[in-house]
Amino acid sequence: MRQVILDTETTGLSALEGDRIIEIGCIELDDRRYTGRQLHHYVNPQRSSHPDAVRVHGITDEFLADKPPFAAVAEEVLAFLRGAEVVIHNADFDIAFLDAELSRLGRPPIRQTVVGVIDTLAMAREQYPGKQNKLDALCKRLEVDSSHRELHGALLDAGLLAEVYLRMTRGQGSLVIDEGGEANAPWHQAATDLRALPLPVLRASAEEIAAHEEMLADIDKASAGKTLWRTLADSAA
């Protein structure tokens, strides 16, 4: 399965209100392995960026003044994405901006070019409900090194997202794959049969059991006796 990890930086937060893409970064995976192919462009949005956006990505209007407009890189972007499954963090945001840029060129929406879109933000919210699921938080939770990320950048963030995505899905530790290394072997070949290993049973001490019962009593009291274990106990009596 060919996948492309994609990220954009923009002049602001609303494609509907005319904000534009100023940077796009893409990294290619094939069968969950980094192929070495990537695409990166800075884009002249032909309008000013919002000051709040500049504080996030650090890309000034002056820097973008001599960069090509999106129309000049659109075909290259579409060719890189064509036929791939695209992985994006908060996909609705980036898709809205890509569709707006393509619409200005009379081109169909991006979903007609790619075979599918995976939203890692939606995936993270399902896996880690009630927790922070921004890219920085996921990097910290999944032990992806983002110490070099002082500002947002499309290609930098796409690389971090690729690591995060692999760890959220099948647990591959890194995109860095040595020739002939274990990362090139099928996943099942690296598995270890644990059935023959003895499993120690650690029993709670009397003090630990008492502390546990005290904690359950406190929770039961705080919920006014509506805890699930109390409900099940009453129904079984």
Alpha-carbon span 138 to 122, nearest angstrom? 12
Whether 40 is a known active-site residue: answer no
Strand pairing partners for 24?
8, 41
Q: Report the distance separating Cα 84 and Cα 37, nearest Å.
A: 13
Phi, psi of 213 (to 5 degrees): -65, -35
Q: Counting runs of H as helices and runs of E as strands, what totals does the chain give?
A: 9, 5
Reading the block at residue 97, the tokens are: 């901006």
| Count of beta carbons in the 10 Å neighbourhood of residue 29 | 21
Residue type, 171: G
Among the options 41, 57, 89, 152, which is catalytic? 152
Distance set, CA 136 to CA 100, 132, 151 (Å): 27, 9, 11
Q: At what angle do helices 120-127 and 91-104 cross, to 10 degrees?
A: 170
Q: How many CA atoms lie within 13 A of 125 on its CB side?
A: 6
Burial class (CB in 10 A: 0-12, 13-18, 19+), 184: exposed
Return the active site residues.
152
